[in-house]
Amino acid sequence: MLLETANNIDSLIHIIFANLGDDRILIFASDEQLNILQNAREFIVDGTFKVVPEIFYQLYIIHSVHRDHVIPVIYVLLHRKNADTYYRLINKILKFAPRWSPRSIMLDFEQACIGVYQTMFPTVLLSGCYFHLRQSIHRKLQALRHKNQYESDPLFAHNVHKIAALAFLEPTNVINGFEHLSIDLGDDYETILDYFEETYIVEILKPHNSVYSSVIHTNTNDAQAECSTSTSSEDSSGDESDSSDNTDSSNINEAKPKRRKKKDEATKSLSTLAITTNANLPNLPLSSLTTLTIKQIHSNCLMIENIDKKLITS
């Protein structure tokens, strides 16, 4: 069954595309939302799996930054979350909003989604969501049975925050910063450091999947508005949007430390690592490669620690 409509009598949110076949898709938007979509240049996209009708797999929402506020402009019910589905989705949206031309998109680390956006919009700047980064690290701590230690040992928690603080370094400084931090933390943090490198440095952020840095400042009071579909307490411990974490934890524990490979090999694997924070943070001081020290990573860590705790417990 195929239904397409671009208008509705009451001009409220309505179905602009519906495919109720095996790969069912329902797209909802109003004329005003489509107009904002085509005029905005900064976007945040995210999916949730908790509040979805049983016949669908995820609710996918496209937000735009409009007049310094983050507002939803497209709601989509999807049956799958693979590249083909995302290609179909974007093509259908472009049919009703042909002037949609994003300059930047903040998203999670789902490789299928990243690849599709880069193919459909070759000049777009993609940035990872800091909430999803912290959520992923927190889940790995749970898988490694470090949850109690994280909650009861302030020093351990602070050192884990240092790993996330690498996201606030300039992209060209991340490898050097990671090497400094690995030496500083030592073998006690080997498994979580291996996970971070394998997931966010080696696999996700290869040259063709570069993620760029940006801090989006809005008038939103909710620090997680830009990733609003993943902020409920139920989502924090489930399988919500952690598409980057597809590696079995036992394999990570058994693997040799990736960070001990030669620096030039690491450089080939990583072009950038810069995660977007979804809180209203000030621009953080960025160090040059020659002056990069553990103290500077520590300083960045202190600046984000209070907000970080809110992201983890929300």
Domain that holds residue 20: 2-102
Question: Dihedral through CA 49, CA 227, CA 175, CA 300, nearest 10?
Answer: -140
Q: Does a structural domain hold residue 249?
A: yes
Q: Does a structural domain hold residue 112?
A: no
Q: Does a structural domain hold residue 108?
A: no
pLDDT in tens, 234-245: 344 344 444 444
Give how far Cα 97 sits from Cα of 38, 91, 289, Å.
6, 10, 43
Check whether residue 93 and residue 229 sit in a common domain: no
Check whether residue 96 and residue 134 sit in a common domain: no
SS3 147: helix
pLDDT at 298: 53
Residues 6+ apart with CB under 8 A from 302: none
Q: Does a structural domain hold residue 118?
A: no
pLDDT at 145: 92
pLDDT in tens, 276-287: 333 333 333 333
Q: Does a structural domain hold residue 188?
A: yes
* 280 closest CA partner among 208, 224, 200, 196: 224
pLDDT at 64: 93
Check whether residue 58 and residue 153 sit in a common domain: no
Total domains in the fold of the chain: 2
Check whether residue 93 and residue 197 sit in a common domain: no
Check whether residue 149 and residue 12 sit in a common domain: no
Q: Does a structural domain hold residue 119?
A: no
What is the CB-side half-sphere exposure of residue 25 using CA atoms within 13 A? Answer: 23
Q: Does a structural domain hold residue 308?
A: yes
Check whether residue 196 and residue 96 sit in a common domain: no
Q: Does a structural domain hold residue 149?
A: yes
Residue 261 has a CB neighbour count (10 Å cut-off) of 13
Query: What pTM did the predictor assign?
Result: 0.60
* pLDDT beneath 70, residues of the chain: 1-13, 17, 20, 202-314
pLDDT in tens, 198-243: 877 765 444 333 333 444 444 333 334 445 444 333 344 344 444 4
Q: What is the sign, positive or negative, of the torsion defined by CA atoms of 220, 223, 224, 228? A: negative
